[in-house]
Chain A
Amino acid sequence: MSDQQPVIKCDSVYKIFGKNAEKMLQDANGKVVAAEFQKAGCVVGVNNASFEVNKGEMLVVMGLSGSGKSTLLRCISRLTDATAGNIYIEGEDLISMSDKELIELRRNKMGMVFQSFALLPHKTVLENIAFPLQVKGNSTKDSIKRAKDMVDLVGLTGRENYFPRQLSGGQQQRVGIARSLAVEPDIWFLDEPFSALDPLIRKEMQDEFLRLQGVLNKTILFVTHDFDEALRLADRIAIMKDGIIEQLDTPANIVLNPETEYVRKFTEDVPREKVLKIKSVMEPVGDETDFSDLRVSEDALIETVAEAVLGDPKSVPVLNANDDIVGVVHSSKVIHVLFGENSTLESNA
C-alpha cells in the first residue's frame, strides 16, 4: 500500500470565510453557490475540492486572482483550518492533528515558498536559511553548515552575509527556496513563487526550479496564474474558478479536452505545440524505409523539436523510453499543429 498511497489527499474540502460559515455550509448541504454566500456576507475560498497528489508528482494550481488558489494551499498546509472536508498527508488525517503534531509535520515534511518572499528582514541570507533548523532545535553550528550547503545549491555563494534588502528579487526568492528546502521536506508548496519577478528572471528561475526538481524529486504543489509557467512545469494542472476546481488533468488534456466552458475559454489561446507531445502526432511505422537520421523522443513537446523535424524532408522516427522505434512523424503533421485549425486535431496523448 505504501507505494500507492497518495502523499496529499483532499476529500471535499471547503473553506468559507465569514461569521456563520459553518452553519451556512451545513444548511447548504454540500451545494455551495458563491453568489448566495456572498449575499450573506461570506466569501467562498475553496469549494468542494477533492484530489490526490502522488509521490514525486508536480500539481500546478491555476486560476485568476481571487479564485482560491492560495486558500487551497493554506488549507493543505493548515495555515488556515478548512471549514469542512478531510485532508490526508501521507495517510495521516491533517485536520485532527494536534498543534504539536502539526509543528512536527511542518518541521520535517513541509516547505513553503511565498510570492513576496517573506524573508525575515533582520536576518542575513544564511540566518534566514538556517532559521527553520534553529527553530527545530538544531545546534547553531549544524544549522549554519547545512544552510551553507543550501546557499551553494541555489547559487548564492558569496552573499551569505547580505541582508534581504540588499538582494534583488530573484536572489531573494532563491533564499526563500533555499529556506524551504533546508529541512529536506517531502512536500513542497510554492505559492506564486515567481510572480513578483520580471519575465527574464522568471524564466531563469523556472529553469533553476526544474533543475532543482530534477535533483530532488519532491512532491510539489505549485500555485501560479501564468499558464505558460504551468505548462512548462506541471505533471498535472488544476484550474480553479471561484473556489471550485473546474478541471484537474494533464496539460494536454486540459488544452485539448476542456471539460467546462470556463476551461475552454481559458485555454483557447494556448499554442498547441506547447502542450502536445510528439506521441500525439506520430503515425505507425509504415512500409517506408527512407528515414531521417534524426531521432526524437515520444515524450518531447512538439515545440521543442518542431524546428528540427521541419528542417528534415524525410519522416523522423520516434523513440520510446527504451530507445525502440515506436512510430514516425511527418513534417506535414507538425505544420498542421503549428498553423492549422485547432479544432480538427484529435488527441491521443
Chain B
Amino acid sequence: MNFINYLSERPKLTQLGIVLIVFFILMSMTGLYHDLIVERHLFAKSVVKGEIQSSVGFAESMSMILNWQLPPQLVRIPELTFYHPVINTSATYVLIALLVTAGLLYKSFAESVNKSQWLRVNWFQIISKGFVGIIVGLLFIPTLYNWFFGEVTRSTFWEIPFMLQDFSQYLIFEFWQTPVYDPEIEDYEDYGRVRLFTRAIGVTLLFLINLVRELLIGGFETVVSLANVFSDQSGWDWLNENKDKWYSSVPAIPWTVLTAGAFILGYKLQGVGLSILAGFSCIYLAVFGQWEPAMQTLSFVLVAAPVSCLSGVIWGVLAYKSRTVERVITPLLLIAQTFPHFAYLVPVIVFFGIGDHAGAVATIIFATPPMIRLTLLGLKRVSPEVSDAGRMSGCRNYQLMFKVLIPTARRDILIGVNQVIMQCLAMAVIASFIGAMGLGFNLLLALNQLRVGQALELGICIVLIAVVLDKLSLAWADKQTDYFADLSFVERNKTALLFVAVFFAAILFAWFGNWVFADTAKGINYFYLIPHNKGITTEPFWQAGVDYMVSNWRAGIKIFNTWLLVEVLMPMKASFLAMPAIATFVLTMGIGYIIGGIRSAIVVGLFMLFIALTPWWERALITMYMLTFAVIVSVVIGTIVGAICVQNKRATKFILLVCDTFQTFPSFIYLIPVIMLFGVTDTSVLIAVIVYAVIPPTRYTVEGLRNVPESLLDAGDMSGVTKLQRMFKIEFPLAFPHIMLGVNQCVVFALFMVIIGAFIGTEDLGQEIMQQLFSGGNIGSGLMLGLCVAFIGLAMDHLIQTWAEKRKTLLGLS
C-alpha cells in the first residue's frame, strides 16, 4: 500500500513507468533483438581476427568523392530486413478524406455569422484544408489501413520521391516552353522557362562573384563578359587573341592594400581593437599562403551574405505584413532549422547545376531562414506605441517600415546578419562539394591528403574571416552620424583620403618588390601576392603530433575502440533496430504525453509517423541511435566541464572563447584526426559528433550558472549550505531551463554532424542523402530524407522546449 501511495503522489513517474513497461513488453515480443545480438557476436569475432577493416582508405574515398564517384563503403549500405509499413492506393480513400474535409468546412460555414463574407474570410482555410484532405486521403489513411490489415506491397508514400522527381523534371524541361535561339546549332529550340529563369539567376550570381573575385585577385573575364553583352562574341575573341599581352588581364590588388584597408576600416568603424583584429587576420591569410583561396571564399561570401540578408529582410517584412505569408512561411522556417545541409544540395544541383553559382544558391537558401525568423521576430517585438508614434508623425507606409519599424527592430535584425555570416562560412566547405571554389575546396583537398596541419590552417582562415566580417558588420551597424560636427571636406573624408594614399603607397611598394625579390630563386614578389601554399606553414609540427599519436597510441586506442564497439555501440544499435515501430511510437508519444500532455504526444507522433511511412524507417533508427549516444555523452561532458569552469572567472572566459572558436570551425576538420585513430567505424563518427556537439551544453551551462541571481546565492549562504549543496540544490535547478536550451542546441549540432558523418561511412539517413547527391540527385528522395532528419530534430526540439518552458513557469523565471 505504501508503494501505491508513493506512486499516486507522483503521477508523472507512474506514467513513465507504464510507458516503459509497455515499451519493453512490445520490444521483447519481436525477438529481433536476439538475432541482432547473434550478429554482434559474429562481428566481434571478425574484429578479433582482424577481418574488419575498411576496404578503402579514407584518402582514397575522399578523392573518389571529389571525382563524383562513390567509394565502396558508401555504396554498400547493408541490407536490413525489417517490417516496412506498406500500402496500395485506392480512390475510395481519397473520396472518404474529401468527404470528411467537406463536412468540416460545412460545419464552419453553418456556424459562421456572416455567410456572404464566409468565402472571402476563409479562403485560405478552405484551400489548405482541401489540400490536407487530399494528402491524407491519398497517403495516410491507406497506409495506416494496410499497415494494420493489408498485404505487403509498395506504399503510396514511397512513390512521392519519384512523383516529385518527375514533377521537377517536367518543371525544368517541359513546363511553359519558349523558343530560344541557340547559336551552336544556329536555330531556335524550345526551353522551359523555369530552366531559363534558374539559369539567369545562376549567371547573375556567377557574374557578381566573378566581379568581386577578379577585383580581389585579378583577372579580366568579367569585364570581357560584360563587354560581350554589348557586342556578341568579339570580347572573347579579343581575349583569346591577346592572351599573353600584359593588358589582357587586370592585375590583382596587392594584398598589402587590402590589409591596410582592413586596418583603416576597423579603426574607422570601431577603434584600435577591431583595427588590429581585421588587419592581423589579413596578414595571417597572406603570410600563410592562403590569400588566393581566402579571397575566393570572401568573394563568394560577399555576394551570398548580402543576398541572404536582403531576401531575409524582404520575406520577414512580407510575413509581418501578411498573415497568409506568415502562416505559410512559419512551418518552413521551423523545418529549415534542422534540415541537413546536404539535403539542400540535391535540389540545387538539379536546378542550378554545379559551380560557384550553385554553391552560392545553396548558401543563400541555407542562410536566409534565420534572417527571416529574426526579422519577423524583431518587427513583432516593436512596441505598438512606437509604430503608432511613427504613424502619428505622418509616416507613409514605406517610411513607417524603413524609418521606424526596421531601425527599431535593429538588434534582432543584426543578430540575423551575424547568423547569416556564420551560416555562409559554415556552408563554405559544404558548398565546395557542388563546385564552389575557395578555402572550402582546399580544405577538402587537404583532408583528402590527410594533411591535418594544412587543414587546420585553412580552418583558422575560415574562422578568422567569419569573426572579422561579423565584427565589422556589427560595428558598421552601430555607427552613428553626428549632426554637430561642422567639418571641412578633408576632415570629413580623412579616412577615405588615407586609404587612397595607402593604396598608391602599397602599389608602389609592390612595384619595388619586383626588384627586391628579383634575385630569389622563384621570382615571387611577396609584396604583391604570396602564392597559394608558398607562405609559411606550421604543418610539419601538426603532422609530427599526429604521427606521434598514431604510432604510440594506436594499439591502446584499438583495444578501446573494439571494446566500445562490441560492448556498447553494437548492442545499442541492435536494440534500436530491434524496436518494432509500435514500440517506438509508444515510447516517444508516451514521453511526449508526460512532458506536454496530449498535444505534445500528437505532435511527436505525427513527426514519427511521417518517417515511418517513408522507405527509410530503419535508417532513421540508426540516425536516432547515433544521435542519442552522442547527445547523452555530450551533455554529460558539457555540463561537467561547464560547472567546473564556472567556478573560476578566468576559466569561464577561456572556455567561452574556446566554444566560440570551435563553433565557427568547419566541422569537417574534426573528421580527420578521429578517422586516423579510430578507422572507418561508428566510433569515429561519434567522436567527431561529440567534439562538435559538446559546445552548446558547455556554453549554456556556464551562462546558466553564471546568471543565477546573486540574492538567491546569498540567501543560500546565509542558511549555511555547503558548496556542493549550493551547487545541486540552488544553482543547478535554477539554471536548468537555460541548460535545457543548451541540450536543445546540442541535439541540432549533433544531428548536423551525424549527417556529415556519412563521409566517414555510416548506414543512416545521412548516407542515403549522400547517395542522392552523388547519383545525380533525385529531388524527391533528397527532400524527403531531409524532412526525415528535420523531423527527428523537430520532435526532440519540441519535447525539450516544452519541458524547459514548464520548468521555467514553475520557477517563475519566464
CA distance A136 to B131 in the complex (A): 47
- Give the size category of B's interface with A: 20 to 34
The residue on B at minimum CB distance from A116 is: B385
Among B386, B388, B390, B394, the residue within 8 A (CB) of A107 is B394
Cβ of A106 and Cβ of B392 under 8 Å apart? Answer: yes
CA distance A118 to B484 in the complex (A): 25
Cβ of A120 and Cβ of B483 under 8 Å apart? Answer: no
Cβ of B394 and Cβ of A79 under 8 Å apart? Answer: no
Distance in Å from the Cβ of B385 to the closest Cβ of chain A? 4
B residues 362-395 touching A (CB-CB < 8 Å):
383, 385-386, 388-395
The residue on A at minimum CB distance from B114 is: A23
B residues 518-547 touching A (CB-CB < 8 Å):
none
Among A106, A116, A119, A120, the residue within 8 A (CB) of B394 is A106
Residues of B within 8 A of A236 (CB): none
Taking the complex as formed, is B113 at the interface, i.e. its CB lies under 8 A from any CB of chain A?
yes
The residue on B at minimum CB distance from A126 is: B483
Cβ of B392 and Cβ of A120 under 8 Å apart? Answer: no
Among B114, B383, B403, B408, the residue within 8 A (CB) of A135 is B403
Cβ of A112 and Cβ of B392 under 8 Å apart? Answer: yes
Cβ of A114 and Cβ of B394 under 8 Å apart? Answer: no
Cβ of A118 and Cβ of B388 under 8 Å apart? Answer: yes
The residue on A at minimum CB distance from B404 is: A120
Cβ of B393 and Cβ of A135 under 8 Å apart? Answer: yes
CA distance A115 to B394 in the complex (A): 19
Residues of A within 8 A of B399 (CB): 135
CA distance A110 to B396 in the complex (A): 15
Distance in Å from the Cβ of B439 to the closest Cβ of chain A? 35
Taking the complex as formed, is B154 at the interface, i.e. its CB lies under 8 A from any CB of chain A?
no
Cβ of A115 and Cβ of B388 under 8 Å apart? Answer: no
Taking the complex as formed, is A131 at the interface, i.e. its CB lies under 8 A from any CB of chain B?
yes
Cβ of B113 and Cβ of A112 under 8 Å apart? Answer: no
Distance in Å from the Cβ of B484 to the closest Cβ of chain A? 7
Taking the complex as formed, is A243 at the interface, i.e. its CB lies under 8 A from any CB of chain B?
no
Residues of B within 8 A of A110 (CB): 392
Taking the complex as formed, is A308 at the interface, i.e. its CB lies under 8 A from any CB of chain B?
no
Cβ of A132 and Cβ of B386 under 8 Å apart? Answer: no
Q: From known contacts A103-B396, A144-B483, A161-B484, infer whether A24 and B113 are also in contact, taking CB-CB under 8 Å.
A: yes
Cβ of B395 and Cβ of A135 under 8 Å apart? Answer: yes
A residues 167-193 touching B (CB-CB < 8 Å):
176, 179-180, 183, 189
Cβ of A132 and Cβ of B393 under 8 Å apart? Answer: yes
Distance in Å from the Cβ of B323 to the closest Cβ of chain A? 13
The residue on B at minimum CB distance from A20 is: B113
Cβ of B385 and Cβ of A115 under 8 Å apart? Answer: yes
Distance in Å from the Cβ of A120 to the closest Cβ of chain B? 6
Distance in Å from the Cβ of B154 to the closest Cβ of chain A? 46
Among A77, A112, A189, find the residue whose CB has the most chain B CB atoms closer than 10 A.
A112
The residue on B at minimum CB distance from A110 is: B392
CA distance A19 to B121 in the complex (A): 10
The residue on B at minimum CB distance from A78 is: B391
CA distance A123 to B121 in the complex (A): 40
Taking the complex as formed, is B407 at the interface, i.e. its CB lies under 8 A from any CB of chain A?
yes
CA distance A110 to B389 in the complex (A): 11
Among B385, B395, B484, the residue within 8 A (CB) of A114 is B385
CA distance A81 to B790 in the complex (A): 43
CA distance A20 to B280 in the complex (A): 64
The residue on B at minimum CB distance from A22 is: B114
A291-313: CB near B (< 8 Å → 1, else 0) gives 00000000000000000000000
Cβ of B392 and Cβ of A122 under 8 Å apart? Answer: no
Q: From known contacts A103-B396, A136-B394, infer whether A122 and B113 are also in contact, taking CB-CB under 8 Å.
A: no
The residue on B at minimum CB distance from A140 is: B483
Taking the complex as formed, is B410 at the interface, i.e. its CB lies under 8 A from any CB of chain A?
yes
Cβ of A118 and Cβ of B394 under 8 Å apart? Answer: no
Residues of A within 8 A of B389 (CB): 112, 114, 118-120, 176, 179
Residues of A within 8 A of B408 (CB): 120-122
- What's the tally of chain A residues with a CB closer than 8 Å to chain B? 41
B residues 111-129 touching A (CB-CB < 8 Å):
113-114, 121
Residues of B within 8 A of A77 (CB): 392
CA distance A126 to B481 in the complex (A): 12
The residue on B at minimum CB distance from A147 is: B483
Residues of B within 8 A of A183 (CB): 394
The residue on B at minimum CB distance from A185 is: B392
Residues of A within 8 A of B388 (CB): 74, 79, 112, 114, 118
Residues of A within 8 A of B113 (CB): 19-20, 23-24
B707-747: CB near A (< 8 Å → 1, else 0) gives 00000000000000000000000000000000000000000
Among A115, A124, A135, find the residue whose CB has the most chain B CB atoms closer than 10 A.
A135
Residues of B within 8 A of A179 (CB): 389, 393
CA distance A120 to B383 in the complex (A): 11
A186-213: CB near B (< 8 Å → 1, else 0) gives 0001000000000000000000000000
Distance in Å from the Cβ of B234 to the closest Cβ of chain A? 49
Taking the complex as formed, is A45 at the interface, i.e. its CB lies under 8 A from any CB of chain B?
no
Cβ of B392 and Cβ of A20 under 8 Å apart? Answer: no
CA distance A112 to B394 in the complex (A): 11
The residue on A at minimum CB distance from B403 is: A135
A residues 8-42 touching B (CB-CB < 8 Å):
19-20, 23-24
Taking the complex as formed, is A258 at the interface, i.e. its CB lies under 8 A from any CB of chain B?
no
B383-425: CB near A (< 8 Å → 1, else 0) gives 1011011111111100100011001101000000000000000
Q: From known contacts A20-B113, A116-B383, infer whether A131 and B483 are also in contact, taking CB-CB under 8 Å.
A: no
Among A19, A106, A121, the residue within 8 A (CB) of B391 is A106
The residue on A at minimum CB distance from B395 is: A135
Taking the complex as formed, is A251 at the interface, i.e. its CB lies under 8 A from any CB of chain B?
no
CA distance A131 to B114 in the complex (A): 43
Cβ of B403 and Cβ of A118 under 8 Å apart? Answer: no
B473-504: CB near A (< 8 Å → 1, else 0) gives 00000001011100000000000000000000
Cβ of A106 and Cβ of B385 under 8 Å apart? Answer: no
Distance in Å from the Cβ of A149 to the closest Cβ of chain B? 15
Distance in Å from the Cβ of B90 to the closest Cβ of chain A? 39
B227-254: CB near A (< 8 Å → 1, else 0) gives 0000000000000000000000000000
Q: From known contacts A118-B389, A126-B483, infer whether A132 and B394 are also in contact, taking CB-CB under 8 Å.
A: yes
Residues of A within 8 A of B390 (CB): 120
Residues of B within 8 A of A118 (CB): 383, 385-386, 388-389
Taking the complex as formed, is A111 at the interface, i.e. its CB lies under 8 A from any CB of chain B?
yes
CA distance A74 to B390 in the complex (A): 13
Cβ of A120 and Cβ of B386 under 8 Å apart? Answer: yes
CA distance A103 to B482 in the complex (A): 29
CA distance A103 to B407 in the complex (A): 21
Among B121, B391, B480, B483, the residue within 8 A (CB) of A79 is B391
CA distance A77 to B389 in the complex (A): 11
Residues of A within 8 A of B395 (CB): 103, 135
CA distance A140 to B483 in the complex (A): 10
Distance in Å from the Cβ of B37 to the closest Cβ of chain A? 60
Cβ of B392 and Cβ of A111 under 8 Å apart? Answer: yes
CA distance A86 to B133 in the complex (A): 46
CA distance A24 to B112 in the complex (A): 12
Distance in Å from the Cβ of B399 to the closest Cβ of chain A? 6
Distance in Å from the Cβ of A324 to the closest Cβ of chain B? 45
- Report, nearest first, the 10 A-B pairs whose CB atoms are least far apart: A107-B394, A132-B393, A118-B389, A118-B385, A112-B392, A106-B394, A20-B113, A122-B407, A114-B385, A118-B386
| Other 18 A-B pairs with CB < 8 A, given A24-B113, A132-B393, A160-B484 | A23-B113, A103-B395, A106-B393, A108-B394, A111-B392, A112-B388, A114-B388, A118-B383, A118-B385, A118-B386, A118-B389, A127-B483, A135-B399, A136-B394, A140-B483, A161-B484, A180-B392, A183-B394
Question: Which A residues have a C-beta under 8 Å from some C-beta of B?
Answer: 19-20, 23-24, 74, 77, 79, 103-104, 106-108, 110-112, 114-124, 126-127, 131-132, 135-136, 140, 144, 160-161, 176, 179-180, 183, 189
Question: Which B residues have a C-beta under 8 Å from some C-beta of A?
Answer: 113-114, 121, 383, 385-386, 388-396, 399, 403-404, 407-408, 410, 480, 482-484
A-B contact pairs, 12 of them (CB 8 A): A106-B391, A106-B392, A110-B392, A115-B385, A116-B385, A121-B410, A123-B407, A124-B483, A135-B395, A135-B403, A136-B394, A180-B392
